[in-house]
Amino acid sequence: MANLKVGLHDALRSIRQAKDTAPIQIQQIPLADNIFFTKDQLKVGSILKYYGRHAPNTVWEVISIRFYVLHNGQLRSHKVKSPQTLADQVEIKCRNDGTCMECSFQYLSYSAIWRLEQ
């Protein structure tokens, strides 16, 4: 038996030449991840739960979100309803003791100690 070597180009030729195959339809599935949440999921008034070691199981509310832009050499902030970039600053207030804190959206979304409550 002869040792037959087939290259990738030869192997894919039959697929490329087939004209009766239907194009693949890809559907996007909406995901609602409460741990690694997206910018669309967070808005002013959203409730977050903290699972860190400093004050575990405390409930926090989003008070304001600020979007920063550089305009004529000056840094200006605009209040928005939901984050525009990962660097947007989110002000949150603890419902348990009234403590206020400002964090970047990137920290809130990518660290798994903050969870979005529904």
What is the reported pTM? 0.70
**pLDDT class of 26 with cuts at 50, 70, 90:** confident
Average pLDDT, rounded, for the chain? 86
Residues in Cβ contact with 104 at an 8 Å cutoff, skipping those fewer than 6 apart: 86, 87, 88, 89, 90
Per-residue pLDDT tens digits for 1-18:
556 666 777 767 766 666
Give the pLDDT of residue 2: 59
The span from the CA of 91 to the CA of 56, in Å, is 19
Q: Summarize the confidence of residues 40-50 as an average pLDDT.
A: 94
